[in-house]
Amino acid sequence: MMYTWKHPALAAALVAGLAAPAAAQSNAALLKELKALRERVDQLERKLRDQESRTGSAPAAAAPAAPMVVAPAAPPTTAPDTPSGMTAEQQQEFNRVVVKTEALEDAREASGFKGLKISGYMDPTYIYNHLQDRAGFQFLNRVDDDGYNYDNSYFGAAVLDLQKETDSNTRWRLTLAPNRGVGAVFDGTSIVHEASVSVPLGNLQTRFIAGQLPDWSGYEYLQPTLNKLITHNLLFDFTLPTAYTGAGMEITRGKWITKWMVANMNASKRSSGNKSPVLAYRVDYSRGEFKGFGFAGVHGKAANFSENVVDDQGEVVPQRDSVLHLFEFDAYFIRGDWTVQGQASIGTQRRAAITPDPDTGALRNAHWWGLSGLAAYKITPRFETIARLDYLHNKRHGGGLLGYTAADDRNGIGPAPDGDPERGANRYALSLGASYLFNLNTTLKAEYRLDRANLPVFLDVDDGGYKKTNHLLGASVLVSF
């Protein structure tokens, strides 16, 4: 007899059945039934292996023999085998597994679980800031309470990320980050960190993208699951955009990935009198398995927050969006226990310098450039040490950075009080940290950070004086799934 069924089919059906949606798997009764079915299938497989071991592999078709007369056989004492090699009872039980599996797959698809990925993280964080005279936990604190600062950026968050890919390969993403996402930074109340779609045009390597996307510049990522330290570098905090709201393309060709958008920068809606968007782009190249580089830029008009122009009643005259040019280059080398990353940035914004012209009072352009480098080494597969060094040159016209058009004595931006208003402070930052992978979902982080400027621009809230140096300590517990 020739077998037309082999026992791997049982295993395949069982695997498909166990791939049911999370909603179905939570049903204890169904799990119990599936476990019993799996044990029964294992029994059937063992029985088939025993039968094959006794008879050898399935026999090949025999050569035709001479006709012979055979007496009628006696009625069988057991149920005959089905064409698949199983008894009728075994075939019926196998069919139940198949039907149940198909029903579970249909239920998953009907419920919208097919192609759906749910992930997230939380990172309660402890911060000590010497000159700010404060220490304590930061978790889900509102950005609009005291603004965006280097000691209060995106850490201390609880984030839920929903991603869906349809049968047509369209991708949909919604990331929620109450109080700690990019939406909270530029909007003040939005819990939406990212809301984007990606639609293939002709092939999977050419995609239309649209929605609200976090900025993609630099070597550091926003989310702590991809950021080695707790805080971010100076270029990330003070020279890069927050997010884009618009539409564009993502094109992959070999080792090159290009993304661009025509968008509002740091705004979900343009204000009255402002009509010009920005062009934002990023290009990445992977040179082999361990290294690569990328560059990104933004050109167009962005919000100008200068308050240096007042009317006859002493009221601040709001400024229209002004021309902005940003460009950065970054590269990485990751191999074995070593990670090395670096970035160089340059930028300028029209009429956004901190100090206006001393003779005419006219607004002047802000200019800046900076460097950042990071090195990390894994002492063990779980324990990693990290060092990062940043420099930000911001001297001209009293200084002025992206979104920072006035002196800021918490972040160390602008001229020194009672100093030369034409001379802005240049900033440095050194961070030393360590991370420990406690388990696959939990990472413990610690960081010491030294911030310094060439001018006394850090306010000591304890005595009201100004210092050139500040110290920060941080620790966090990052749990992701």
What residues does 326 pair with on adjacent strands? 298, 347
377, 337 contact by CB (below 8 A): yes
What gap in Å lies between CA 194 and CA 242, rounded to an integer?
Answer: 11
Confidence tier at 21 by pLDDT (50, 70, 90): very low
pLDDT in tens, 307-348: 999 888 889 999 999 999 999 999 999 999 999 999 999 999
Asked whether the predicted pLDDT for residue 1 surpasses 70, the reply is: no
Q: Both tokens of residue 285? A: 């190249």
pLDDT in tens, 167-200: 999 999 999 999 999 999 998 889 999 999 999 9
What one-letter code names the amino acid at 147? G
Dihedrals phi, psi of 32, to nearest 5 degrees: -65, -40
Which domains, and CATH codes, for the chain? Answer: 191-480 (2.40.160.10)
Confidence tier at 107 by pLDDT (50, 70, 90): confident
What gap in Å lies between CA 462 and CA 471, rounded to an integer?
Answer: 14
Q: What is the pTM of this model?
A: 0.80
| H or E element, residue 442 | strand 442-453
b or e along 189-218 (b: 16 or more beta carbons within 10 Å of the residue's beta carbon)?
ebbbbbbbbbeeeeeeeebebbbbbbbbbb
Quote the radius of gyration of the chain (alpha carbons, Å): 32
Confidence tier at 55 by pLDDT (50, 70, 90): low
Asked whether the predicted pLDDT for residue 244 surpasses 60, the reply is: yes
pLDDT in tens, 152-172: 999 999 999 999 999 999 999
b or e along 327-362 (b: 16 or more beta carbons within 10 Å of the residue's beta carbon)?
bbbbbbeeeeeebbbbbbbbbbbbbbbbbbeeeeee
The beta strands (E) that lie in 215-309 are given as 243-253, 256-265, 278-287, 291-302
Label residue 239 left, alpha or beta by phi (over 0 means left) and psi (-120 to 50 means alpha): alpha
Q: Both tokens of residue 350? A: 């029209």
